[in-house]
Amino acid sequence: MQKQPEIAVRLYENAKFGTTYAKGLYHSAVFNASADVLNPSVKYLLDFYTLERWQHTARTDGQMEMLDIAMECDRSDALFSWIYRYDCTTKAKTWVWGYASLDSSTNKLKLLLDDKPKGLLENWTLTAKPCRSVYGKKAPTLLATNADLSVY
C-alpha cells in the first residue's frame, strides 16, 4: 500500500470574522487556513464557513457536485471550505476539485482533493490540535498534520 503524501494544515482564527468590508457585506469565514503538501510541494488555501454560508458560495458545476458529496458525508454543524491551489511566485489562486471539512465537536479535519495538474488524488482525515500562542508571533489556532514538522 502506498503511503499518503505528508500534509500540514494550519488553521488561523479569522480576526475579521463578523466585521464588515462593504455596506451589508461581512467577513464570514470562521477560520483561514493553509495546507502544505511536502511531496509534491504544493500549497493550498482554505477558508472555513458554516454549512449555511458555504453552500451559497458554490460557483461552478464541479462545486455543486462537491456540495452533494459533502451533504451525504458530513455533519451539518461542521465547517466547510473550498480548496484553492496557491502559486507563491505569481500569487495566483486556482480552484481545485475537492473540499475540506472540520468537525468542531471532534476536531476531525477531512480533505478530499483531486488536483490533476499536480498528480494528487487524496482523501486525508486528520485530527486538529490546539496550538500554544506565542507572544509577538502569529501562531495558528489549530494544527492538523500527518508529517514531521521539522522538515517544513
90 CB neighbour count, 10 Å cutoff: 7
Amino acid identity of residue 64, one-letter, is M
Cell output for 8 = 500540514
What CA–CA distance (Å, rounded) separates 85 from 25? 25
Taking phi over 0 as left and psi of -120 to 50 as alpha, with beta for the rest, 88 belongs to alpha
Q: Is 109 helix (H, G, I), strand (E, B) or coil?
A: strand
Q: What is the pLDDT of residues 16-60, one digit of tens each?
A: 888 888 887 788 899 999 999 998 999 999 999 999 899 999 999
Q: What is the pLDDT of residues 49-88, one digit of tens each?
A: 999 899 999 999 989 999 988 888 767 689 999 999 999 9
Cell output for 7 = 500534509
CA angle 89, 94, 97 (to 5 degrees): 140
